[in-house]
Structure 1
Amino acid sequence: MIESIISKSLSVTEVLNQILNAGFASGGSFAIWRKPKSNTLELIFDGQETPKKVNLQLEELEAGFIVHPFEDQEDKQAFFIQATHYWNWKLDQQIQKEDLPEWTKVATDISHQEYLKSVQRINVLSNSYPKNKDGESQEHFIELVEKSIQSIQDGYLEKVVPARTKSFEIPENFDLAIAIKNLLHSSPNSFVNFFHIPKIGTWMGASPEVLIETKGDEFYTMSLAGTQAAKGENPLKTAAWTQKEIEEQALVCRYIVDCFKRIRLREYEEHGPKTVMAGSLLHLRSDFRVNMKTTNFPQLGSIMLELLHPTSAVCGMPRKEAHDFLKKFEGFDRSFYAGFIGPVNIQDETSIFVNLRTASFQDGKVTLYAGAGVTEESDPQKEWEETEMKCEIIGKFIQKSQA
């Protein structure tokens, strides 16, 4: 549980402010995160001003934080924040200023107003990314869902996941540290994260979806699909799923199993589906585990990362046809939305998440991203309402987090 600390100890907000001030003042890249169901805040800092890129052989990488957009890069690489400095802190542990690592103390004299200005001046995307065209139009999204349904009825697709954006001005007194603290408190089952790569991207989010995870000899991935608002005193017990949502989740499961079959991996555990909560939303989830030692797949993390991204939960099925459909009709560049992010080889663990429930900061504006899984039974208006719910998860913390 996140609590403000007693006299002479720093509050969570004060710790985050110190970290953020130092990160922005350095001119380099940095990332802050807390894994699902964890009480430990982790951060890495790389003072190099030139962004680093790496190949996707996870097992060979140094400790760091990987950031990959939805679309594959021409060089088949991902952005990488190297863990030149690493620190972690249990959020309920009392801490004083002198307990912070030395490299976080460089920005002590930056005034709060100067810090806010630095946040609002953030230039998220390099010039290589085109501006969004139709991402914010409700009319365009409704038409896109209708085209998606038609393509499914015509037998071209089984499922497709169109996305949209929603932008607004950063509130005048917006406090990034408070926004992150509130997100940590409200999303205990999500991967709460913030990362900044100069001239490339500045994003925050609370993703509910693991793409791949390795710890020791164990590999883990999940199938996550279906969305509804959490309602009532015990939403996990009272949730009712439609046939459309059950089939949507089953398609994602089938895709994971197909990936195992492609690499002739037959020994795996599958559990689910079960209803899980992420913030104020409910989803259907199945879990998949593999012992990499007994199956003789020591590089299963990298192999499955290549096979799974982009998952059918953020793209559709068949994957190539769904991807081509979105590229032709979606009307905007997803950038890092529905890409993947996460710590690599930190304390012998790698945890890569699909970049969902996310927002980017650019030139004084915030852009929210959300998608909806479309099947033959989809209702275009309800899919729009689902994206509104998903945008609200992050948007409300930015709009209400003021100094």
Structure 2
Amino acid sequence: MTSPLSVDPETNQSPTALLGFLKQCREAARRARRAQLVSITIRVPALDPLAVLATIYEAGERHFYVERPSEDLAIAGAEAVLEFNASGPGRFAAVQDFVDQTLAAAIVVGGQGLPYSGPHFFTAFSFFNEVGPDEPFGSASVFVPRWQVATRGTGAARSTVAVANLVLAEDSDVEAACEKVWRAHQRFKGLGGSIGSRLFPEHFRDGPPTSGSQENGRSEGEGALYVNAVRSAVERIRAGEFQKIVLARAKDLRAAEPLHPMEALHRLRQRFEQCYAFSLANGAGQSFIGASPERLLRVHGGLLQTEALAGSAPRGKTPEEDFTLGEALLGSEKQRHEQRLVLDAIVQSLSPLGLQLEFAQMPELRRLDNVQHLHTPIRAALPVGIRALDVLSSLHPTPAVGGVPQAAACAGIRAIEDFPRGLYAGALGWVDGRGNAEFFVGLRPALIDGESARLYAGAGIVGASVPEEELAETELKFAAMEHALFAKS
């Protein structure tokens, strides 16, 4: 995948050098008799990827953004130069084939050894293997962006890179391509002085993004229906149909004016630093945004990280109350049982891959701004031949968002829930050309379409669940996104 062509974008930053390089790439495409993905990475001044996205992306283009402030990492990309869609149970393998075929015809220069260098494949998998024809996002989609910008670290150790991706065939107009890449390069360099801060108020307003919200007709009385659904699920669990099922709600809201997803994301990343603030736009006007607390998997240097996250309790208003609520969560038989089901099922699903999993027997607390969960980190070295999407195919959907056993619980979800999940509780993330990957679960999200927003929240149901308590848990989860979209300050 690395380039045999003689160019160093770090030292040869001139349009003449770029044009000569692109001519070499066009010649490589002619010899190979196939188009080449050309990926150029350069260091740039410190940038905030979300601000870059808010500044230069086009509403009619696809984009992907994810940031986890607690780990000082963020990446954004937009405008697809290559894309692919798949569906059905073979969708993970199909996406992997697309990645492999693309990298086999890729010319990659610059950024060796830098985090997030080279092309990234931004990917989203829906909760179910199939989605309806009218859904805004497919069951599996992947795209390579025309541009991406990423940052990692803080202070002197902070590294920011910009990547330009383009596809060159033997008949491509390299002069036009050169002009476009050079113009983007100059624009990134110019942005450094004006939006280098993480907060930049000139791009993110502190005031309300809308004048308020109201529930659409579908959501009226929906809470009572959810209580009845939970009650029915508990009866089915006690009858032995499944051990756990995660039931979700959808709340439809409408604002008086178009919503501002970028401003909502800015609020989410400030408030939930341990979560993945994310956005995926389909290029047709809809975007799926949220702040997910749950890592699905991370692969870096051949090391896999995943986690079992389940069980919930609110945060306390005082340190004493917070401690008491946390200890009650750790000591709750019902919550511990729910989280252990998730852990055991993850271990079972990964066992065919030959992984030697490392994890603690006792869960710890994962404390977020408004809620706390039971959490067990899991680590393993990936055997040769096992890749991130192989693991993802085995993991998704985890019992934390589906249930136990998986097949019976998912059938129950289809029977009980009265709305399509789409990307809710799906798998979103990226893979790169070196085998690294990061995926998170599409939780605490909203589907934004102009003035409309559909919010999603769910709760894990076991035999000891109390329907009214599960309803309260989902309201707590809704509150974070409602505040981000409609906050007055």
> Which category of TM-score, normalised to the shorter sequence, fits these structures?
0.7 to 0.9
Residue 359 of structure 2, aligned match among 270, 283, 288 = 270
Match of 1:285 in 2: 375
| 1:315 positional shift | 1.0
Query: Counterpart of 1:391 in 2: which secondary structure?
Result: helix
TM-score normalised by the chain length of structure 2 = 0.66
Match of 1:46 in 2: 79
TM-score normalised by the chain length of structure 1 = 0.79
Match of 1:125 in 2: none
User: Does 1:161 find its partner at 2:195?
Assistant: no
Supply the AA of the counterpart residue of 2:75.
E
Residue 316 of structure 1, aligned match among 403, 426, 447 = 403
Match of 1:22 in 2: 56
| 1:32 positional shift | 1.6
The answer to whether the 8 Å contact 1:160/1:315 transfers is yes
CA change 1:401–1:87 in 2 (3 A) is farther
| 1:259 positional shift | 1.5
Instruction: Map residues 355-370 of structure 1 onto 2, 5 A cutoff.
Output: 355-370=442-457
| 1:278 positional shift | 2.6
**Rg bigger for which structure?**
2
The answer to whether the 8 Å contact 2:47/2:151 transfers is no
Residue 137 of structure 1, aligned match among 218, 222, 228 = 222
Match of 2:120 in 1: 63
Match of 2:319 in 1: 233
The answer to whether the 8 Å contact 1:41/1:90 transfers is yes
The answer to whether the 8 Å contact 2:50/2:76 transfers is no
| 1:135 positional shift | 9.7
Supply the AA of the counterpart residue of 2:319.
E
CA change 1:104–1:338 in 2 (3 A) is farther
The answer to whether the 8 Å contact 2:257/2:451 transfers is no
The answer to whether the 8 Å contact 1:51/1:198 transfers is no
Supply the AA of the counterpart residue of 1:180.
L
The answer to whether the 8 Å contact 2:244/2:461 transfers is yes
How many residues end up aligned between the 2 structures? 363
CA change 1:36–1:68 in 2 (3 A) is farther
Q: Deviations over 1:214-265 (max 9, x none)?
A: 1011011110000111113277744122211110000001001112333344
Supply the AA of the counterpart residue of 1:249.
Q
CA change 1:18–1:291 in 2 (3 A) is closer
Supply the AA of the counterpart residue of 1:211.
L
Cα RMSD after superposing both structures: 3.5
The answer to whether the 8 Å contact 1:167/1:366 transfers is yes
Supply the AA of the counterpart residue of 1:385.
A
Residue 255 of structure 1, aligned match among 338, 342, 345 = 345
2-side partners of 1:234 and 1:223: how far apart?
A: 27
| 1:401 positional shift | 6.4
| 1:53 positional shift | 1.9
Match of 2:463 in 1: 376
User: Does 1:183 find its partner at 2:268?
Assistant: yes
| 1:59 positional shift | 6.0
Match of 1:391 in 2: 478
Q: Deviations over 1:311-355 (max 9, x none)?
A: 111111111111111111211101110111012217763111110
Match of 1:5 in 2: none
2-side partners of 1:237 and 1:346: how far apart?
A: 44
2-side partners of 1:400 and 1:173: how far apart?
A: 15
| 1:307 positional shift | 1.7
Supply the AA of the counterpart residue of 1:392.
A
Bigger drift between 148-157 and 274-283 goes to: 274-283
1-side partners of 2:394 and 2:80: how far apart?
A: 33
Percent identity at matched positions? 22
User: Does 1:221 find its partner at 2:306?
Assistant: yes
| 1:363 positional shift | 4.1
CA change 1:148–1:289 in 2 (3 A) is same
The answer to whether the 8 Å contact 1:360/1:368 transfers is yes
Q: Deviations over 1:284-304 (max 9, x none)?
A: 011111111xxx343242222
2-side partners of 1:139 and 1:369: how far apart?
A: 16
Query: Counterpart of 1:298 in 2: which secondary structure?
Result: coil
2-side partners of 1:67 and 1:144: how far apart?
A: 28
The answer to whether the 8 Å contact 1:223/1:286 transfers is yes
2-side partners of 1:187 and 1:347: how far apart?
A: 30
The answer to whether the 8 Å contact 1:29/1:47 transfers is yes
CA change 1:102–1:328 in 2 (3 A) is farther
Supply the AA of the counterpart residue of 1:331.
D
| 1:175 positional shift | 3.9
| 1:41 positional shift | 3.0
2-side partners of 1:84 and 1:175: how far apart?
A: 23
CA change 1:92–1:170 in 2 (3 A) is farther
Query: Higher relative CO (CA 8 A, sep ≥ 6), structure 1 or 2?
Result: 1
Gaps of 5+ in 1: 1-8, 106-111, 113-118, 121-130
Supply the AA of the counterpart residue of 2:407.
K
1-side partners of 2:217 and 2:412: how far apart?
A: 17
Query: Counterpart of 1:331 in 2: which secondary structure?
Result: coil
The answer to whether the 8 Å contact 1:149/1:378 transfers is yes
Gaps of 5+ in 2: 1-44, 100-118, 133-137, 161-183, 193-201, 203-208, 211-215
| 1:201 positional shift | 4.2
